[in-house]
């Protein structure tokens, strides 16, 4: 078989298995379809953050802020809170646009910062957005404060609502299963966007800034514009993911957008291999699923062993994140699936030893 044939048949198998996956999962329990949906959202988020951190090399610890912006835009425009019920295909672009605007808002004052300093400012930005969401219930009630927004509309396409089960050609599709397919579609779009950008004039300019900002400026790259573009692009993906999150959950509150979420998304990018799209996908899938699997094994295990829960699953999750990163730094410092360039670089260092 030729190389291209192999590639296409591999791709066909992958697509086919992704298409039947929810049926297999719902056999194991609807919860697993929901977990998979959240995992896809995290892959989506990681790919957005990868543009900023992986491509342009700008360490952003406040990424969850854009996720929050997208989520609240959806919640406010499609819930009884303001009595607005716009269709999702209208809200998602608004959310993406507003998140991009927030990206520029964060990018503009931090243009001269790099590394640790940038990380601290972006971290602060994430917290500021969350605190705003918590407090924008007075004097005018915009966000409903810590109580959050409830009864958010599910996605509707014509007469099909993603909130309930439907029958198509004799197949019963539950709400989460429909979301699965929608998310899969959005995810393929974002992967294509990422792949195309990476090998483009803009993608190369991002990489150049990551490698040597002064040299990039000297050869005529308008680093201000190109960096803001990275912030805006990354943020807009966060905004879309946030909108989908709102629709799927039906309820959001500032609690969903804490610093740990930013850290988690960043861990996914770093674990997989910064800058490499497939590495980032792998990292996000791994870090989304493994903790959930543990949740389903650790709790029953503790119950049988101690007949009570000694360590909360949430704690175990964070513990695992730490462990995964430590192990990665020790054994695969460039990530599980590193960018070609870094791979060679670390390989060479190993060879020198």
Rounded to 10 degrees, the C-alpha dihedral 136/139/140/145 comes to 30
Q: How far is the CB of 327 from another protein (least distance, A)?
A: 24
Site for another protein in 258-287 (CB under 8 A): none
Told to check if 187 binds another protein by CB under 8 A, we report no
What span, in angstroms and rounded, lies between the C-alpha atoms of 25 and 209? 43
Q: How far is the CB of 207 from another protein (least distance, A)?
A: 6
The interface region with another protein, picked from 94-102, 103-111, 221-229, 321-329 by CB under 8 A, is 221-229
Candidates 279, 288, 239; CA nearest to 129 is: 239
Residue with tokens 């695969």: 332
What span, in angstroms and rounded, lies between the C-alpha atoms of 39 and 32? 10
Handedness of CA 132, 133, 135, 140 (dihedral sign): positive
Q: How far is the CB of 15 from another protein (least distance, A)?
A: 20
Candidates 97, 291, 82, 74; CA nearest to 162 is: 74
Told to check if 193 binds another protein by CB under 8 A, we report yes
Toward another protein, which CB reaches closer, 295 or 342? 342
Q: Cis bond leading into 139, ω under 30°?
A: yes
Size of the site for another protein (CB under 8 A): 32
Q: How far is the CB of 88 from another protein (least distance, A)?
A: 22
Residue with tokens 């909108």: 243
Toward another protein, which CB reaches closer, 166 or 345? 345
* Token output for 62: 């406040």
Handedness of CA 112, 114, 120, 125 (dihedral sign): positive
* Token output for 337: 């699936």
Q: What residues have CB less than 8 Å from 335, skipping those under 6 apart?
A: 270, 271, 272, 273, 274, 276, 279, 283, 328, 342
The residue from 6, 85, 147, 344 that contacts another protein (CB under 8 A) is 344
What span, in angstroms and rounded, lies between the C-alpha atoms of 93 and 255? 24
Q: How far is the CB of 234 from another protein (least distance, A)?
A: 12
The residue from 112, 260, 348, 349 that contacts another protein (CB under 8 A) is 348
Toward another protein, which CB reaches closer, 203 or 272? 203
Told to check if 111 binds another protein by CB under 8 A, we report no
Q: How far is the CB of 104 from another protein (least distance, A)?
A: 14
Site for another protein in 195-214 (CB under 8 A): 196-197, 200-205, 207-208, 211-212, 214
Told to check if 217 binds another protein by CB under 8 A, we report yes
Q: How far is the CB of 204 from another protein (least distance, A)?
A: 5
| Residues 70-109, mask of contacts with another protein (x by CB under 8 A) | ----------------------------------------
Told to check if 223 binds another protein by CB under 8 A, we report yes
Report H helices in the chain: 3-28, 30-50, 64-77, 88-107, 115-135, 175-198, 201-211, 213-218, 223-249, 259-272, 277-306, 313-331, 340-352
Toward another protein, which CB reaches closer, 85 or 344? 344
Q: List interacting residues with another protein (CB under 8 A).
A: 192-193, 196-197, 200-205, 207-208, 211-212, 214-223, 229, 233, 339, 341-342, 344-345, 348
């Amino acid at each position: 078989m030729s190389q291209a044939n192999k590639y296409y048949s591999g791709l066909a198998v992958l697509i086919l298995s992704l298409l039947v996956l929810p049926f297999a999962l719902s056999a194991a329990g609807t919860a697993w379809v929901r977990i998979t949906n959240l995992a896809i959202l995290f892959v989506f988020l990681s790919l957005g953050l990868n543009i900023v951190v992986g491509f342009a090399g700008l360490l952003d610890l406040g990424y969850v802020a854009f996720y929050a912006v997208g989520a609240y835009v959806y919640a406010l425009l499609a819930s009884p809170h303001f009595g607005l019920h716009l269709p999702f295909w209208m809200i998602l672009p608004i959310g993406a646009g507003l998140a991009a605007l927030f990206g520029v808002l964060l990018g503009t004052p931090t243009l001269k910062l790099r590394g640790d300093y940038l990380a601290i400012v972006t971290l602060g930005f994430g917290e500021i957005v969350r605190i705003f969401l918590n407090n924008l219930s007075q004097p005018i009630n915009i966000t409903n404060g810590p109580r959050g927004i409830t009864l958010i509309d599910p996605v509707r396409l014509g007469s099909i609502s993603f909130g309930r089960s439907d029958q198509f050609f004799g197949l019963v599709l539950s709400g989460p299963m429909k979301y699965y397919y929608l998310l899969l579609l959005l995810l393929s779009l974002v992967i294509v966007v990422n792949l195309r950008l990476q090998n483009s004039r803009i993608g190369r300019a991002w990489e150049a800034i990551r490698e040597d900002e002064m040299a990039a400026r000297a050869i005529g790259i308008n680093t201000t514009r190109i960096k803001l573009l990275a912030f805006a692009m990354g943020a807009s993906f966060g905004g879309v993911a946030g909108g989908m999150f709102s629709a799927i959950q039906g309820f959001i509150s500032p609690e969903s957008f804490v610093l740990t979420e930013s850290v988690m998304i960043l861990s996914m990018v770093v674990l997989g291999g910064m800058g490499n799209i497939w590495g980032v996908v792998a990292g996000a899938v791994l870090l989304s699923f493994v903790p959930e699997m543990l949740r389903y094994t650790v709790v029953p295990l503790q119950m049988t062993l101690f007949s009570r829960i000694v360590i909360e699953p949430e704690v175990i999750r964070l513990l695992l994140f730490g462990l995964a990163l430590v192990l990665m730094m020790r054994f695969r410092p460039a990530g599980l699936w590193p960018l070609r360039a870094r791979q060679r670089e670390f390989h060479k260092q190993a060879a020198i030893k």
